[in-house]
Chain A
Amino acid sequence: MIFLQLGILLCVLIAGTTVVFTRGLASQPVVVSVFGLMLALMFVVFQAPDVALSQIVVGAVGLPLIVLLALAKLRRDAQLLHRQQDEDETK
């Protein structure tokens, strides 16, 4: 019985550490999503269904989505900047 709780705590620990040590931009939303999922599972195990539900919708879906959008925006801005620099050079 108690092993379930300890196990999920361990999973959260590993997932959290992975988030910190994942430096690649492309894989970050995925890792965060997994981390959010682990936290949601932890809430389920610790008898907090309300929190688990909001963690699923926010932590495992909403937050990674916003991260994805922000990354896409950063990329597009970089492209724009390059294009602008090219134009400036041709002038």
Chain B
Amino acid sequence: MAPLPVVIPLMVAAVLAGVGSRLPRRVLDLAALLTSAGVIVISMVLANASAHRVIVYWFGNWQPTAHSHFPIGICFMIDPIGAGLAAFTSLLVFAAFTFSWSYFESAKALYHILMLVFLAAMCGLCLSGDLFNMFVWFELMTAAGVALCGYKSEEGQSMQGALNFAVLNTVGAFLSLSGVALVYAFTGSLNMVEVGVTLAQHRLGSGFLCVAFLFVISGFLVKAAVFPFHFWLADAHAVAPTPVCVIFSGVMVELGVYAAARIYWIVFSQASMPSATAIRDLFFIVGSSTAVIGALYCFGQRHFKRLLAFSTISHVGVMTLGFAILDPSGLAGATLYLIGHGLVKAALFIGAGILLHRCGSVDEFDLRGKCRTLAPIGAMIVLGAIGLAGLPPFATSFGEKTIEAAASRAHREWIAAVLVFAEILTGAAVLRFAARVFVGWGASRELSLHGAPHIHTDQETTGRHSQVPIFMWGTMLVLLIAACAVPIPSSVRSGIGREIQRFETPAIYEDAVLYARSTEPQYPEPRTESLDFSLENGGVLVGMVLLAGLALAAGSEEFRAEGRVARKLLAIQMFFRRLQSGRVGDYVAWFTIGIAVYGAILVLLR
């Protein structure tokens, strides 16, 4: 049972590679849909079965022997968090396949094969309990992601985004591999639990531990697109086809944070207890800078997919902040946030896909007022904006409240301010887009001379553009409903809270992996935050609407004549625009300095 979430998609991919070019399109679609549905079911069953004890599955039957307890094989270490994430991943892949039902009229099964392998790689990353094995799935994710990015490689499309994606992630992966090698050199093991136990026993120097930790997670930080490793993400989104964007933003990026949290808790948390404050401070800096800068970029975009990509960066910053508190309720909040955000973001990307299908563009100014007939889609996009802003009833609001409560218990009240800032800006950006495109408010030209990039995006669909197929809008609607409904039962919320407590208790995994026994301490019942519409929510809502209105009004001539403040703001915006240059060399330079600065922070604060 346990290896199926990886084995089934890989097997179907291999079969499709063999016979797929002979099969009609609908059979391929059906096979892909059934496979991802199957993986959802299996992952849910696994999550359920592991609720009371961690399931450990030894590939090749190489469980540690009774006298040495030393793992020589690779294991899957399945707990409800990992299996639940795998289920969530396959849910989004399922949604992407439904959306692409009337999509990509191309020959061959390449798209389906690549998506299925991508799914398998993400599931493998969620479930794996071995450091090198995680690296392997990480590399497979990169390879499949790059190939999917370039899938729609028509003449009119630039591949620069895919190139930046590939180079940055590969460089990050190599640094991760170096970190794994360093850890292996001293512990003689690759199993996460065994490495964690050994590191804790042998009191290694904290300088060594800090640097090894930074190296091991660097690849995952690049994948998570935190500042200043985030540049590739927006470029990749501008190139990738819509269903691929759904996966990239909805879950792939978040898996980077998940992997970093997993590695921290299992491998390093016991060994580096003296420097836990340093790690906390590091992730506070990483998370808040990512949340703020992502939100600023997001607000400055006119290309809808790119706008959403930057909002993903901002929200990843929020999740990083949740993890950074290093206590169960913070991470539980981040998990709730991840679910809500993934569903809402997937719905919004599908909205972008619908616009592309109907109007042949996703540019805010090109489309101004042209989509009045698509009011229901516009309404759903506005709902998505509310979800992004973390307002009830969306799951993001639970996540946000839980993170804020945890932050105030840890005496970091400023985190709430960062969260509100990110939510107002990202929500307002989407709201502004919707108002301009679906209602026709605001200027038809952009304010600044050196404005946001105006990218021509090719239509991805063929056939009738006069109507929106039910597979498109239906998927969007279901995703939005799910984003509201998932956390309503309080059992889901308290379940996540309980599971996170286990996630942060390495001793349980040690018992399960090395000694094949399960010890389950009683957890205190986690606090769950209420669904009430708080004062803060009201503030966010008002702020968001005001900001969107201001941005719409700002384009008018009168405002421009006023312009001193506006010009100042634009100058700042220009500075940031220059940083996002699209050149891979710049990004690698940022990567280098980012690693150096984060390393310095860790080492100095330890």
Quick check: do A and B touch in the complex, using CB within 8 A?
Answer: no
A residues adjacent to B (C-beta < 8 A): none
